[in-house]
Amino acid sequence: MQVSNKLTLLMSFVALCSGVLLALMIKLNSQLAMYSSPLWASWMAHGIGAITVLLMLFLLRKMLMGKEAKSALNADANLSRLPWWAYLGGVPGAATVVLAAVTVNSELALAGTLALMLVGQLILSCIFDCCGYFGVVKRRIRFTEVIAMVMILLGAMLVIYSH
């Protein structure tokens, strides 16, 4: 229990850090979009991102090979089969860009779009967690988590609409 608690804390920190990166990325991409269009900026970002990861995979290949071989030894049989849809994360990711461009230019503007996207994210996240869809570990959402969710959502709305 102690170990998993530590892991949860570490992963919470990692998730927070990824949020920091996300904000920086959005800032840079929106500036890049001013030179052409959001679609073009995102296309460019995906291309550069792909090159970056390929480069990282190439540089770290020795380390990864060693780790992979080790983890393959004690992996569960049911985990070793990779579902086909797991490769398709880029599809909804790319669609997001196009749809966001549509709603930002409507009456919703940027603030409304951001707020509604946060709500949509959280609704579907809860559904995935509760039902255990797409390889997610099925679990009940606790009451304290709902309170934390409301606090964070309210805080985010305040930040978005105070602009």
Partner 1 sequence: MELMVLIALLNGGLIALSRTFNGALAKHSHALIASCCNHIVGFVLLSAWIICLENGANQLQGQPPVYLYLGGVIGALFVVLNSWALPSLGVMRCTLLVICGQMLTGVVLDIISSANGIHWASLVGVCLMLAGVVFLNRLKQPTPQVKHANCSL
Per CB under 8 A, contacts with partner 1 among 71-90 are 71, 74-76, 79-80, 82-83, 85-90
Smallest gap from residue 47 Cβ to partner 1 (A): 5
Query: How many other CB atoms sit within 10 Å of the CB of residue 42?
Result: 21
Rounded Cα gap, residues 19 and 12, in angstroms: 11
Contact 97, 32 (CB under 8 A): no
Residue 131 binds to partner 1 (criterion: CB under 8 A): no
Per CB under 8 A, contacts with partner 1 among 11-50 are 11-12, 14-29, 31-32, 35-37, 39-50
62, 73, 77, 92: residue in contact with partner 1 (rule CB under 8 A): 92
4, 62, 73, 77: residue in contact with partner 1 (rule CB under 8 A): 4
Among the listed residues 25, 22, 19, 21, the one whose alpha carbon sits nearest the alpha carbon of residue 41: 25
Per CB under 8 A, contacts with partner 1 among 97-116 are 97-100, 102-103, 106-108, 112-113, 116
How many residues in total does the chain contain? 163
> Cα-Cα-Cα-Cα dihedral of 125, 129, 135, 138, to 10°?
180
62, 73, 77, 124: residue in contact with partner 1 (rule CB under 8 A): 124
Contact 120, 154 (CB under 8 A): no
7, 62, 73, 77: residue in contact with partner 1 (rule CB under 8 A): 7
